[in-house]
Structure 1
C-alpha cells in the first residue's frame, strides 16, 4: 500500500486507538483482559484501518495499489450494502455503485445479494463470491449464486460465472480462493450450509464447470457439541423463548498451498484443520470416494474463521476465541504470533507484497441474533495488521 494512501486511510485512527486504550481500563466484558493480553508472549498488532461500515465486514481484499475492499454479508435484509470500498477517513462506499448493491431478484446475474468474500488474483483482478442470499438464509435466488470477475481500473464487471449447478437449497457459500497460473484457471469455494452439512465447490474458470465435492463429508460438516467463546462469552443463537443454542457452520475458511496442490479448510464450528488434494476436485474420472480418501486431518487448530497461507506454506489461523492470530507450520506445530483485544471475531486475512498480514475484526458475535435481539456492534470496525517474514502464497 503506498504511503499517501496509508495516510488517507489512517485518518481518525489515533482517536479510535485512544478510545480503545481508555476502555481497556474499565471492567466491561469486552475489554477486561486488555492489560493481561499485553503481557502475553504473542506480539501486538497495529491498527491499520478503522472502517466505517454499515454492517459487519467479514471479507477483506487489498489490491497491489492499496485499494481496500470489504465484504459485508447480508445476515438479514437490513444490511444496506454487501460490497464496499474503503476510502479516505475510513468511509465505506458501495462498490461498484449503489445500484449494483440492490438485491434485485429480476437481475440475478447483475445484482449483488450476499457477498461474503472476494480475492485478487495474480493479475490484480478482483474476484467476488455471491452466495445469492438477500436475507442471509433460505434457498439461494435462482441465478444469484455466482462468481464475478471485476476490473477495478474501470470499475466494471468483466464476467459472471453461475454456480447454480454446485449448490443446494440450503447452501451458504462462504469463502473463495482463485488459482490462476500457466495453463491453470481454477477457483475453490466453501459451502458452510445452513445446517449441519457442508461441501467444497471447485470451478474451472476457463469453462465454467462446477463440481461439488465432499458434500456431507465429516470434514465439511458443522461439528456437534461445540461451543465457541468470543470476548469471554459463549456465542449462542437466541430466538424468542427458545433455549439458546450454538450456531451451525460447516466448511468455512480455506487456503491454498503455494504450489496450488493442496487446499486447506475447516468448518466454522469445528476445532480441526483439514487438507485435500486439489488434483481430483475437477477431474470427472475421480470419484467422490477417491476425493474423500485424499482428505487429511491435520489436527487441532482452535476455533477459527478465515485462513490464509504464505510462501512458506504456513497456514494462518484467525483464533476467534483468543482475539489472536495463530500460524501452523509445515511440521504441524502451531504458534500464536499476535493478539489484540480489538480483534473481535477475527475473520479474513490478506497478505500484501510488502509482507503485512492484515485481518478484519468483524464483531459478528455482537450481532442481534447472538444477544437477545440487541445489536452490540460498535463501528468503526478495526482492520489490524502485523509484519510477517514471508510473501503471499
Structure 2
C-alpha cells in the first residue's frame, strides 16, 4: 500500500487491470454441459459475446476464431466449417439473391445457389409414395423439391457436410463466434473423437440451426410419461447451455415454443432435436443427407418438408441411448439430430412490400413495411448492411 500511495501511476495501472478482468468476467458467456444427473463446465473458450466495438469488424472473413481446442476455429472459414453452403431460392427472386450475396460476403462466408422449384412443374410420377398433392399446397411441393435438389447435391458430390438455408435468411453479425459455441455443444453432445474431421464433430446427421420454434425432446407426448430412469430420457435430456449470451434477445422479446420465462435471461441451448417447425437453416452430414434423401423422397413423403424432416428426427430420438436392439424396437433410420434454441438463423421480413416476404404464403397486395425486421437476431446482419459497408456503428434491434 505504501508503494501505491507513493506512485499514482501504479494506482491507475491497478485500476485499469481490475476493470479489464471485471469486464471480461461480466461479458464472457459461460457454457455448461448438463443433464439431469451431471453438470460440468466446458473447458473451451470463445471470444466475449459483447466484444463488438463501434467500428470493430473482426467477425468477417478476417476473423479466425478464438476457441480451444484450436480445430473448432475451422467454423470461421468461408464455408462456416462445412464443405459447402447452399441457398435454395426461386431464380426470379433476384432481390433475395442480391441481399443474401451481399450479407454473406460482408460477414465472411460464401454461398452457392440451388434453384427453387414451382410445385406445378413437379409431375405426378415424381411425387413420392404416400404424398397427396391435393392436400399439399403446390408451393409446399415445390419447396420440398427445391430442398431435395440441395440434399441430392450433397450426396452426388460426396460432400462431408453442407449447410442449407432458405433465401430470406438473416443472422447476427457475430455469427462466427456463435458457431464456435454450437461446435462446442455438438461435440459435447455427440462426438467422441478428440480431433474429428468436422469442427462440429463426426457423429451427427442433422443440425437444425434455424427454425420457427422448437421444443425439448423430453417434453414430447411420447416421452413425457417415461420414468426418469429410462435410458432414453437421460440421453435426450442432455443440453449444452450457453449462459449470458448477448446475442440472445431479452426475455420479453425472444420467440419460440420453449417457455423462455422459466430460464435465466440470455440463455441459448444446443440440444437433442425435439419437434422443430420450419427449415430456415440446417446442416447435413453425408450420412444425414443419404438418410433424408431416402426418407423424404425415395421411400415416401408424408407431408410438408419441414414436418417430414422433423418427423425423421423425432422417430429416432425416443430410443436414443438404448443399446439393446430388442428394447429399442423399430428405430427406423436412427437419425442423430441436434437443434439450437433460440435459433441463430431466422427469416428476414424486408423493408418494402409485405407480399414479397414468402413464395409459399401470400398476403394482401399493397401493404408496406417501412423497416426490415428479424425475430431472435440481436445485431441483424441484414439491417446493418450499410453499417458493415461503411464501417459505422452496428445497431441492435433491441436498443
Q: Shorter chain as normaliser: what TM range?
A: under 0.3
More helix as a share of residues: 2
Higher share of residues assigned strand: 1
For the pair shown, which has the larger CA radius of gyration, 1 or 2? 2
**Which protein has greater RCO, CA pairs closer than 8 Å, 6+ apart?**
2
What TM-score comes out, normalization by structure 1 length?
A: 0.26
What's the TM-score, normalizing by structure 2?
A: 0.26
